[in-house]
Amino acid sequence: MGKTVVLGLSGGVDSAVAARLLLEAGYTVYGHWLDIGLGGREDAAAVADSLGIPFSTGDIRDDLEREVMAPFRADYLAGRTPLPCARCNPTVKFPALFRRAEEVGADLVATGHYARIAETETGETVLCRGGHANDQAYLLARLPKALLPRLVFPLGSYEKVQVRQLARNFGLPAADKPDSMEICFIPHGDYAAWLEQQGQVPPPGDFVDRTGKVLGRHKGIHHYTLGQRRGLGIPAEHRLFVSELRPAENQVVLSDGRDLMADQVWGTDWNPLAPLPQGQAVTVRLRHSKTETPAHLTLGQDGPRLNLLAPARAPTPGQLAVLYREDVVLGSFWITGARRVPQ
């Protein structure tokens, strides 16, 4: 192929195998490690050295704080459940990789995401799902459409277990390195503790039911999300679930869960990635899971709105609604609200 690509090289198994596959496909590869202030450069440099590719670093700490970490804190204070990876990709990670591409004159940018870039019969470049078990196209659905022709995802047709085996076959130093944490800037995985360390958390308050009856005390609304059952610590005759967060009153509303089903979802900031099929239902993923729901999308002056053809459980403000037609990602929007199915 002879093309030049800048690869986001984390030091983990996915980006390491992606680098080797790119080299085998004839690309000239530049490895670029993004510094978030938590170390890890040595692992990425070792991968680059083992493959004989140029290696550089980029400091994204300020961008990460402004574009991802500050909104993350604000979302929890406002009773929303943020999705930082989906926010980071279009605002921090990929812009940093494209800046490096401009510096070295690279045509393309690549990462170790499990997603695919394809071309339709009409010549349009589209984002598609990756391997079923590890599909990460959901987290890339906020990328601008204009960037798609310049992206390469070498792992798009692989499953994680295959990538691990390839790393061993290739003799890569990252072959048996554990998978990275879900939120890169919270390495211990305890987001509530991280928020408390930041010194910006709401105080404890009341658990209440739908009638306003106080059921007990909660630890702060940042500990809870819609549909949550575990960790409530409230004795009851039946299971209790988080049904609503009321930041203004500092209340967490609990119910038996029957009121969590929704038949409409709306939001803001529609990001189109492919033409919408006229008059046909699409499928929508409302959280980072494999569950999808058939729906019709309306784009009006008040923003995107989904009419769900089957009720969905606990659509959550702050999460992402991603629309698909078969494997193609059609677009996405940030969820701001939902209509509950009447009981």
Per annotation, catalytic residue among 13, 44, 85, 88: 88
- Torsion over CA: 233, 238, 243, 248 (sign): negative
Indicate if 85 belongs to the active site.
no
Residue 19 has which token pair?
């680098």
The 10 Å Cβ neighbour count of residue 92 is: 23
304-308's contacts with Cβ under 8 Å and 24+ in sequence apart are: 304/266, 304/267, 304/268, 304/270, 304/333, 305/264, 305/265, 305/266, 306/264, 306/265, 306/266, 307/263, 307/264, 308/262, 308/263, 308/264, 308/265, 308/284
Rounded to whole angstroms, the Cα distance separating 271 from 175 reads 36
> What's the one-letter identity of residue 233?
G
CB contact at 8 A, 281 and 294: yes
- Ordered strands of the 205-208 beta sheet: 214-218, 205-208, 251-255, 241-246
Per annotation, catalytic residue among 96, 101, 108, 184: 184
Rounded to whole angstroms, the Cα distance separating 156 from 224 reads 34
Indicate if 128 belongs to the active site.
no
Task: Return the active site residues.
Answer: 88, 184
